[in-house]
Amino acid sequence: MYHDLSLLAAVGFYFLATTLLYLSMSRQLGRWRQAAIACGFAGAAFHALAFSHHWGTPGQADVSILSLMSLCALVIVLLLSFSVFARDSLFDASLVALPLTILILLTEWLIPVQNIPLEHSSAGTSIHIVSSILAFGFLSIAGVYALFAAIIDHFLRSHRLNSLVRWLPPLEVLERLLFRLIATGFILLTLSLASGLAYVSDLFAQHLVHKTSLAILAWMVFGLLLFGRWRYGWRGRKAVHLCLAGIGLLLLSYFGSKLVLENLLGRSWQL
């Protein structure tokens, strides 16, 4: 029961945080932004309480698709919320991240999903899971900032800016943050791939070929983007398109392949 109540409480606070953040950005009211941040932290607390139902029992960590999506969403919200204490706050990205998190939590509340416990836990698997989730968190936030950069670029080219766009950081600042996030995510994704390949015993028997191939492709796209930025000064639309392409491949790797494996084929990567 507490799981469902915590989910609904998290949804309520996330919805309130999204509404307050939108109003603060569109009407340029700083005090509403502070209230949005407080609601974001409150939502994350209830989200974590609900998630403890999945991973609260030692040796019974749930690695089903909805559980992992919820965990990734929680990590993203926490990264965005705690960034308000850093020099460059990333909380504006919550305008996109929080509604998506609400959808995930409502899906978890409405659709019963069979738990898939993690059967074999080790230091290697722990490193792989943590680095994978953090990589997805940083790169997903980078994807949101790529969308912001694309929106600002569109309005600049059309010579019109609304109040919501004016509240966003300047395009140069957005691009600087974008590449910092990509660089951090790339390092974590490298660690994730290295640790994953180290503990996987048989890619084919464990049904991990598609997942691993897509993750490697995403890693190559982000690596190419970082190299192009360093060597040729890539920015603007090219950087946005490559970033979104990398995020798309990562989504397919993390959740697309898992969705097909668990829900359509009825298998698990542990089998």
Domain locations in the chain as residue ranges? 1-118, 120-271
Of the chain, the percentage scoring pLDDT greater than 70 comes to: 80
| Residue 243 φ/ψ, nearest 5 degrees | -60, -45
Single pTM value for the model: 0.88
184-207 pLDDT per residue, tens: 999 999 998 988 777 665 444 445
Tell me the mean pLDDT in the region 47-57.
Answer: 80
Q: Which two tokens stand for residue 165?
A: 């766009």
Among residues 249, 230, 229, the alpha carbon closest in space to that of 239 is found at 229
For residue 266, count CB atoms less than 10 angstroms from its CB and return exposed for 0-12, middle for 13-18, buried for 19 or more: exposed
Confidence of residue 259 (pLDDT cuts 50, 70, 90): low
Tell me the mean pLDDT in the region 28-51.
Answer: 91
Confidence of residue 66 (pLDDT cuts 50, 70, 90): confident
Residue 57 has pLDDT above 80, yes or no: no
- CA dist 129 and 131 (Å) reads 6
115-150 pLDDT per residue, tens: 766 666 666 677 888 899 999 999 999 999 999 988
Phi-psi sector, 170: left (phi>0), alpha (psi -120 to 50), beta = beta
81-93 pLDDT per residue, tens: 999 998 888 999 9
CB-based contacts of 45, cutoff 8 Å, min separation 6: none
